Chains A and B, each alone.
Chain A
Amino acid sequence: MNHLLSTEHLDREVLEGLLDEADGFAEVLTRPIPKVPALRGKTVATMFFEPSTRTRMSFEKAAKALSADTVSFSPGTSALSKGESLKDTALTVRAMGIDLMVVRHKATGAPWRLAEWLDIPIVNGGDGAHQHPTQALLDCLTIRQRFGTLEGLRIAIVGDIKHSRVARSDIFAMTALGAEVVLVGPPTLLPIDPVAWPVTVTHGIDEILDDIDVVYLLRVQTERGGASVFPSLTEYTTRFGMTSARFTRLKPEAIVMHPGPMNRGVEIGYDVADDDRALILQQVSNGVAVRMAVLFRLLGGEHDA
């Protein structure tokens, strides 16, 4: 593994290996001194060309827990605003002596370009509506910690799949690990070609509630797309929201997940988000552990697959 760009071609062995490693780092993070010297002397750059706080913080925390140094880049205050190209920005930062770049960019494929231009590992921190592989890893880790395996689980991904890099990453990782994925949403929020995906599709959430192990709610992305893709937030909540009423109809062991940030009262009920079976904060904690595993895998040398 030279880069982590996508989950689309990761096989089960690679995924399980990363999750095993992440479980180990999750234990490190519970120690009194949650830090190991694994990447001392290495420098990780977080290049977030699209506004993000949580994912960047999570990567920086992960790097620091491995004793790597971190430098960060913000488009608003950088030479990008003076017209510098992405390529020149990347080459400039690389020239400072960077060992790995984490990239988030609103354009699909941008991390692939960086992987072409630069001679260091690139981690995709989210490109457009395309891929966000570390999110998929932390989601799978969270599910695996709860159920022991993803094999045979039925996972419903609900909401704006069409514009979601989280869904595009989760679908491939979850199905590679043996889960069955069903997409739920109105046609305007579903991929235009669902038959080409390793999933089933339904437009009605109520018909599947009692047969689902994991309900994965996507954020209603009001800032994406521009055009109106459903009639109103109220109608969305009525048809697809994980309300308290729907929550009580889930199997007792079923869990609810959300990549954040949540719109409480829209895709997830106010109280549902705080229930013990909503693992949303565990997902956040696991984010640090899986990012440690990814950074360690790409920079740690002896574990190179």
Chain B
Amino acid sequence: MHDLVLKGGSVLTHEGIRDTDVAISNGRIEAIGSDLGDAEETIECDGAWVGPGFVDIHAHLREPGHEWKEDIASGTAAGAAGGYTALVAMPNTDPPIDSGHLARYVADQARRSNRAEVISAGCLTLGRAGERMAHLDELWDAGVRIFTDDGHVVANASVLRIAMEYVAQLGGVVSQHAVDADLSVSGHMHEGGVSSRLGMYGIPREADNVIIARDIALAEMTGVRYHVQHLSTAEGVALVASAKSGGLDITAEVTPHHLMFDHEDVRSTDSNFKMMPPLRDPEDTTALVEGLRTGVIDAVATDHAPHAATEKDVPFEHALNGVTGLEWAGAVTNGVGALDQAAFFDRMSVAPARIAGFPDQGKPLTTGACANIVIFDPTTIWVPRSTVSKSVNTPYFGRELTGRVKTTIFQGAITHEG
């Protein structure tokens, strides 16, 4: 008797996509095939996509220090609702995750809520101040594999170079919030026709591009694995493509909101369209979708950034940056229509797990493996109107999305049923 059988799904297995059943017991995948026998519980998949649970390499879970926005329990609940079984928590908490015991605290809190595996990213510099190296060895020993001062760019190229050399030796990834601080100063949105009409200071696309170009040069110099966060410009996609074709070990992510929206949405001055980097030109959106399709962009990462209503229900220029996204990322990614089932799971699960170094995540289903699975119906059209996050700063409420998470399974246990 199995614990759970998933019947009739389109299953991404290590042998490719098959219409088959999956049996789960004791947290592991026991069998893949047909006529698998009785189970305590059976889920009818009705042809929905079955594959490795989604992995987010960029989520702000806000704990410790900003629990009025989100905490690890609520953030992983939002993750489960969105099909995620693993998350990388960003280190811009209070205090920032710049030493080993803080990273262990984050992982421990996630184990207590038991809805997803969470590793914290670690700061690259102490206090995210961009001056001195964080406790990189301690962080590494605590399981940290991605190092970033996310929210701040490491502006000083010499500091970055030294940190890259150190992280290269550890085998970790340097991940950059690639927005030049000077070019973006006092900017609130993309510099273009809409900012000009609104009379708002803009952030030119070159703010991203100059940092990406600089960092690629330093990554080549130091040999570090380098990851570009939340690409927003067509030129950024081209820079990453060029570095990859030159053989560098460089990866990149895109957020769901950059795939779906552009600066025209900011005309409303609705602060749920305020984030960093900003929503750019429709041509950039097209380039990002194309980059995701071709694989130049390795992963979809949510940049889930919860903020309380009091921090968002203010004039646009006063609102904090960021929107939530964990619950809708799969649907948005599917909805752009650029990815088939294998490519979809590659960008949502396989590649992000590889970048973040989650050994039990993001693998096509195989017998004996840990059962971290999502069942995703790619055809359901629906309109989100609620969230399990603590915060409601989402641009997706009231928007038609295509594709919905039916079930999320973490270590063999159901964490979400849609």
Contacts and interface: CB of A to CB of B under 8 A. Distances in A.
A13 B245 CA distance: 59
Nearest to A195: B193
Q: Give the contact-size bracket for chain B.
A: 10 to 19
B198 A108 contact: yes
A165 B196 CA distance: 11
29 contacts: A8-B197, A85-B313, A86-B314, A86-B315, A105-B315, A106-B317, A107-B315, A107-B317, A107-B318, A108-B198, A108-B199, A108-B200, A108-B269, A108-B315, A108-B316, A109-B198, A109-B316, A112-B268, A112-B269, A113-B269, A128-B199, A128-B200, A130-B199, A130-B200, A168-B197, A192-B196, A193-B192, A196-B193, A226-B186
A128 B310 contact: no
Contacts of A193: 192-193, 196
A59 to B, nearest CB: 20
Interface of A: 8, 85-87, 105-110, 112-113, 128-131, 162-165, 168, 191-193, 196, 226
Nearest to B188: A108
Interface in B187-218: 191-193, 196-200, 202
Contacts of A164: 199
B315 A196 contact: no
Contacts, number: 62
A86 B318 CA distance: 10
B324 to A, nearest CB: 20
A165 B197 CA distance: 10
B263 to A, nearest CB: 12
Contact of A192 (B191, B314, B316): B191
B295 to A, nearest CB: 33
B313 A196 contact: no
Contact of A168 (B199, B202, B315, B317): B199
Contacts of B192: 192-193
A273 to B, nearest CB: 26
A87 B196 contact: no
Interface in B150-206: 186, 191-193, 196-200, 202
B74 to A, nearest CB: 23
B199 A113 contact: no
A191 B196 contact: yes
Contacts of B186: 226
Nearest to A131: B199
A265 B63 CA distance: 57
A109 B193 contact: no
A38 B215 CA distance: 66
Contacts of A8: 197
